[in-house]
Amino acid sequence: MASTSNTMQPENQVIVRNIEHLPSGKVLLIDALPDQAIKEFSALRPDIIWTVYTPYIDTAEQLSNINIASQDSLPVHKSAWLTSEQVGLFDAVLIYYPKAKQRFDYYLSMTSQLLKQDGQLFIVGEKKGGVKSCDKALKPFSDGIKKLDSARHCMLFTATFNNKACTKSMDSWFKEVNLDIDFAGTTINLTLASLPGVFSAKRLDNGTELLLKSMTAVNGKGIDFGCGCGVISAALSLNNDNEIVAIDVDALAVESSNRTFKINGSNATAIHSNGLSNLMNQSNQFDFIVSNPPFHTGLQTDYSIVDLFLKNSAKLIKSKYEMWIVANSFLPYPPLFKKYLKAANTVENNKRFSVYHIR
């Protein structure tokens, strides 16, 4: 058994412990984790050609910078769905059990089309994350599942592909919900489209609901940071001339938002970006920023997301601007507003969420 590194996330430590079970040839890592583990994978198994898929642009950027000795480059695909160019290409697919559990079926559907005949499926994940229940979803694609290991509070399973690929495309996975929403004192009707695991997909989450209800109308060119399925942008651009750029780190959220905008005739566009990085060439151009911003990396609270968001926001807004933010009340927004912008007015506070307004 190979030694493991403390710099690796637990799932990758378990993979190193069981690296000999992977077949030679081409192996695809689905929803891979952003650490340096693939360097050790490659060193231990130079007979494998590694490929990475992730919907998260920050993970893709980090993994794209890794050089591994056994191949010229590490292909890293950042998208909502792998294209037909990859069909039947891989000897094995290793799926990291997603934090958004709804995505596991989605990933299986996609990867079943990418495996060679009699290819191998591997699933690794945290016990508390639900990986123990992966056997039910695997049944349509295999004749049985085997547990390879249980360590580091994680589990690793394997199964042989039964060559019955799912025929669904990405479009088959969109779900739509029609909602009446209280926005700035007026009830509006929106249809929200979403792919599995996208934030606020099935219903309006409590924070966004409070934000939209508490807002007054904004006008001009704006940013919706952490757009999820696009509900904020759609509401803000439904009946006016606002031009909104919606941003998310998750490719499935970007696809969902753009589908939402098309359905509702919204003047908004969603883009894939690591924070606000893909807008930084547009300094001093935006009239407003509205957001229910993310504050998690995986399952962990990550205050650096909040800090960098506000730091970069200050570079993008005009001298006269508005900012509307809803956040969990425990998050340290007020001092960060003062640090990067100016003091915010707390418009609403229901003990769980606070709505902040700057102008």
| 208 pLDDT tier (thresholds 50, 70, 90) | very high
Written as six digits, the tokens of 84 are: 């037909």
How far is Cα 158 from Cα 137, in angstroms, rounded to an integer?
Answer: 13
pLDDT, greater one: 143 or 1: 143
Residue among 48, 55, 57, 4 nearest 30 (CA):
55
pLDDT, tens digit, for every residue of 37-61?
Answer: 999 999 999 999 999 999 999 999 9
Alpha helices, H only, 45-125: 57-64, 103-111
Q: Work out the mean pLDDT of the chain and round it to a whole number.
A: 92
CB 289 within 8 A of CB 315: no
What is the tens place of the pLDDT at every residue in 131-179? 999 999 999 999 889 999 999 999 999 999 999 999 999 999 999 999 9
Position 241 scores a pLDDT of 84
pLDDT tens figures, 317-334: 999 999 999 999 888 889
Mean pLDDT of 267-274: 96
Q: What gap in Å lies between CA 228 and CA 249, rounded to an integer? A: 9
Check residue 295 and give its pLDDT.
67
Q: What is the pTM of this model?
A: 0.94
Question: pLDDT at residue 112 above 60?
Answer: yes
Residue 207 · residue 328 · CB < 8 Å: yes
Supply the CATH classification number for the domain 10-168. 3.40.50.150
Q: Label residue 271 by pLDDT band (50, 70, 90).
A: very high
Q: Do domains 10-168 and 174-358 have the same CATH topology?
A: yes
CATH of domain 174-358: 3.40.50.150
Question: pLDDT (tens digit, 9 = 90+) per residue, 78-103?
Answer: 999 997 677 789 999 999 999 888 99
Parse the chain into domains and list their residue ranges: 10-168, 174-358
Residue-level pLDDT at 191: 96
pLDDT score of 282: 94
